[in-house]
Structure formats: C-alpha cells, structure tokens
Amino acid sequence: TPTTPHTAAPTAERTLVLVKPDGVRRGLSGEVLRRIEAKGYRLAAVQLVHATPELLTQHYAEHAGKPFFGSLVEFMLSGPTLAVVAEGVRVIEGFRSLAGATDPTTAAPGTIRGDLGRAWDGAVMQNIVHGSDSPESAAREIGLWFPGL
C-alpha cells in the first residue's frame, strides 16, 4: 500500500549553486542564472560573496587533505563568487545535470561546463559552477553561504 496518495504534490527542494570566481570573472553569471531560470527553477536568493578561508575550509571539508585542496581554496579566493539558492522539484539533481561533469574539458556539450568551460593553467579544475550533491549537502552549504536563510 502506498504511504502517500498519488495526488500528493511533489515537494520543492533547494540547492546551493555557486558561480565560481572564474565564472564571475568571465562574465558568465547571467548565463548561469539564465539557464537555471530557463529550466524552470526559481531563484530564492542571490548574493555576491567574497569567500574567506574559513568558509571554504568548511564548504570543501570533504576534500581536505587531497592534493588539489590548497589550489582549490586559492582559486576560490581569487575573486568574488555569486552564491545562489535555487528552488524546484528535484533541483539538486536537475542543476547537477545542467552543470555537467566535473572536468570541463570533457563535460558534455549542452551543459554549463561543457559549453563554457575548458582547461586553463594550474592544478585546479576551473569549472565555472558548483552545485550541491545531496539534500544533506544542500542544507549544510546553504547554511554556510546564507547564514540565517
């Protein structure tokens, strides 16, 4: 027996999207927001943030100790980041799909990273955007970038 009637409205969820410093620097913030809205998601909050080492250490806690961690933090400190809370049914998966694979060189065309990203110099992958990977990560990351939201 189903526990919820099939008529139950799907529950909208929220995800944290970041337009990373490379994306802001290249003038791609509007393009990323356009793709989120064109997909039918709602922008619940948008703010330009100068990240701190403390914020990034918490945001990227799962990568602490990896060889690229230092250059990842340095890259994320290299300029402002546009922090975005996007909302909609299955938006966490939906935005990961819009973003494409982590490596922008081989990310599928049609995705943000595949259409707009590529390898440059340096140890870190500059791949324009971040998107939360689970409801738990989304709640944690929204709390970090939008305290009080």
Instruction: Please report whether residue 57 would count as binding ligand IDP according to CB under 6 A.
Output: no
Alpha-carbon torsion angle 132, 93, 41, 73, nearest 10 = 20
CA distances, 19 to each of 7, 8, 81, 95 (Å): 36, 34, 6, 12
Catalytic residue among 6, 59, 63, 130: 130
Active site residue 50: no
Alpha-carbon torsion angle 130, 133, 139, 141, nearest 10 = -30
For ligand IDP, give the closer residue by CB, 64 or 123.
123
Report, in Å, the least distance between residue 84 CB and ligand IDP. 15
Burial class (CB in 10 A: 0-12, 13-18, 19+), 132: buried
Binding mask 96-125 for ligand IDP (x = CB under 6 A): ------x--------------------xxx
Query: What is the rounded CA–CA span in Å between residue 132 and residue 93?
Result: 9
Binding site for ATP: what residues are annotated?
20, 68, 96, 102, 113, 127
Binding site: what residues are annotated?
20, 68, 96, 102, 113, 127
Which residues bind to ligand IDP, rule: CB under 6 A? 68, 72, 102, 123-125, 127, 130, 133
Residue numbers annotated as active site = 130
